[in-house]
């Protein structure tokens, strides 16, 4: 038996570990010897791509545990996208390039075992494809009957940053094209306040001080559907923050940022849930009223 804790510990320091096979190289995780099969797990915390290659003899069977991965058939330029829950086969002789988004975990089975991988030279077009990050899209649903079924719950934190001119700092999201306050989801080992500070730093380059909280948001009918297959019920805390230091810049999750008068902010394209939070920031600024939603 190979326990879950052993697998997680091994994958913390590398992105691939074998569970079954006849291995030439040592690895951190113990494995079950087998000459007919190789079974393993690939886990990618960051955007990753594989060197273009093909297998001369092996069939490879793959199940996507989480995230999303894309393949490019080198000879035809055909693209394939697989997301959480998909199962597929790569036959021998299939020339491909592969890339995976952060948070992708894949279980693979290769038969027969053995190192039959052959790397291939590719064009600049293929190399450019490999180095272009996978784009995901996002749809927000609030109290909608046609919302898809939820398959995850993620705690999140956002920060309302309002300056002395009663302007609020907003970001334009790359995945939806809509405007939002800076924020994001909790990582292991964080509290929500730390999450909020980190997200502003990553998304905008600013170090902020969290000075209060504006509201809590737990509506189970606020659902976010991503193109990688995740359908999220999000619950969030909205903090009030002030900028302490830093220079403005945006990361690859956004396309623009702006300061805009609070009373004008909801005129921008944004999700209904975000409009409500902007209105709650206005109430907090005027009356000190916190929202419990």
| 270 and 196 share one domain | yes
Tokens matching residue 119: 């790397």
Same structural domain, 15 and 85: yes
Q: The domain spanning residue 10 has which CATH number?
A: 2.60.120.10
Cβ count within 10 A of residue 165: 8
Q: Are residues 122 and 169 in the same domain?
A: no
Does position 229 have pLDDT exceeding 90, yes or no?
A: no
The pTM of the full predicted model, rounded to 2 decimals, is 0.76
pLDDT reported for residue 27: 87
Q: Which of 113, 131, 149 is at the close of a domain?
A: 131
Assign 175 a pLDDT band (cuts: 50, 70, 90): confident
Q: Is the pLDDT of residue 251 over 90?
A: no
For residue 36, the model assigns a pLDDT of: 86
Q: Which of 116, 131, 146 is the last residue of a domain?
A: 131
pLDDT class of 53 with cuts at 50, 70, 90: very high
Query: Residues 115, 143: one domain?
Result: no
Mean pLDDT of 6-21: 89
- Cβ contacts of 254 within 8 Å, gap of 6 or more: 171, 172, 173, 174, 203
Mean pLDDT estimate for the chain: 92
Give the mean model confidence (pLDDT) for residues 245-269.
Answer: 93
Distances (CA, A) of 17 to 43, 133, 183, 257, 259: 9, 24, 33, 41, 47
Q: Which of the four pLDDT bands, split at 50, 70 and 90, describes residue 188? A: confident
Kindly report the backbone phi and psi dihedral angles of residue 34, in degrees, each rounded to the nearest multiple of 5, phi listed first.
-165, 130
- Give the whole-angstrom CA distance, residue 90 versus residue 20: 19
- What is the reported pLDDT for 253? 85
Q: Cα–Cα distances in Å, from 10 out to 65, 109, 212?
A: 17, 19, 40
DSSP state of 86: -
pLDDT in tens, 125-149: 999 999 998 888 889 999 999 999 9
pLDDT tens per residue, range 64-114: 999 999 999 999 999 999 999 999 999 999 999 999 998 899 999 999 888
Neighbour order of strands in the sheet with 59-66: 32-33, 16-21, 38-44, 104-111, 59-66, 87-90
Q: Does residue 192 surpass a pLDDT of 90?
A: yes
Q: In this structure, are 153 and 249 located in the same domain?
A: yes
Q: Report the CATH number at residue 226.
A: 3.90.79.10
- pLDDT number for residue 275: 95
Task: Measure Cα distances from 127 to 92, 94, 99, 101 in Å.
Answer: 22, 17, 11, 16
pLDDT over threshold 90, residue 52: yes
Q: How many structural domains comprise the chain?
A: 2
Question: Using CB atoms within 10 A of its CB, is residue 264 exposed (0-12), middle (13-18) or buried (19+)?
Answer: exposed
Model pLDDT, residue 82 = 95
Task: Say whether both 182 and 285 belong to one domain.
Answer: yes
Q: Region 245-258: what's the mean pLDDT?
A: 91
Same domain? For 32 and 77 the reply is: yes
**Claim to verify: residue 196 and residue 106 sit in the same structural domain:** no
- Provide the pLDDT for residue 12: 85
Domain residues for the domain of 146 are 138-292
Check whether residue 99 and residue 39 sit in a common domain.
Answer: yes
Where does the pLDDT of residue 45 fall: very low under 50, low under 70, confident under 90, or very high at 90 and above?
A: confident
- Judge if 116 and 147 occupy the same domain: no
3-state secondary structure of 162: strand
Task: Say what the pLDDT of residue 137 is.
Answer: 87
Assess whether 164 and 91 both reside in one domain: no
Instruction: Tell the residue number behind the tokens 């970001």, with chain if given.
Output: 171
Residue 151 shares a structural domain with residue 265: yes
Contact 55, 113 (CB under 8 A): no
- Name the token pair of 154: 């993620």
Which DSSP helix (H) or strand (E) runs through 157?
A: strand 152-161
Please provide the DSSP assignment of 219-271 as one string.
-TTEEEEETTS-EEEEEEEEEEEEEEEE-----TTEEEEEEEEHHHHTTSS--
Of 99, 131, 163, the one marking the end of a domain is: 131
Instruction: Output the pLDDT for position 10.
Output: 87
């Amino acid at each position: 038996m190979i326990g879950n804790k052993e697998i997680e510990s091994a994958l913390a320091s590398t992105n691939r570990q074998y569970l079954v096979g006849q291995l030439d190289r040592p690895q951190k995780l113990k494995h079950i010897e087998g000459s007919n099969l190789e079974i393993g797990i690939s886990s990618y915390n960051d955007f990753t791509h594989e060197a273009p290659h093909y297998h001369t003899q092996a069939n490879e069977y793959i199940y996507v545990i989480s995230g999303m991965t894309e393949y490019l058939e080198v000879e035809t330029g055909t693209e394939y996208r697989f997301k959480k829950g998909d199962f597929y086969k790569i036959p021998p002789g299939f020339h491909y390039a592969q890339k995976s988004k952060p948070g992708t975990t894949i279980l693979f089975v290769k038969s027969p075992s053995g190192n039959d991988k052959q790397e291939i030279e590719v064009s600049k077009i293929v190399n450019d494809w490999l180095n272009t990050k996978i784009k995901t899209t996002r749809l927000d649903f609030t109290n909608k009957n046609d919302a898809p079924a939820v398959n995850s719950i993620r705690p999140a934190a956002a920060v309302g940053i309002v300056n002395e001119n009663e302007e609020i700092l907003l970001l334009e999201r790359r995945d939806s094209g809509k405007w939002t306050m800076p924020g994001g989801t909790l990582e292991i080992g964080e509290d929500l306040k730390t999450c909020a500070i980190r997200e502003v730093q990553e998304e905008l380059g600013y170090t902020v001080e969290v000075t209060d909280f504006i509201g809590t948001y737990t509506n189970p009918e606020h659902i976010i559907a991503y193109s990688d297959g995740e359908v999220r019920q999000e619950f969030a805390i909205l903090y009030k923050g002030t900028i302490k230091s830093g220079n403005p810049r945006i990361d690859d999750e956004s396309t623009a940022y702006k300061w805009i008068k609070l009373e004008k902010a909801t005129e921008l394209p944004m999700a209904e849930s975000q409009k409500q939070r902007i209105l709650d920031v206005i109430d907090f600024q005027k009356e000190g009223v916190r929202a419990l939603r």
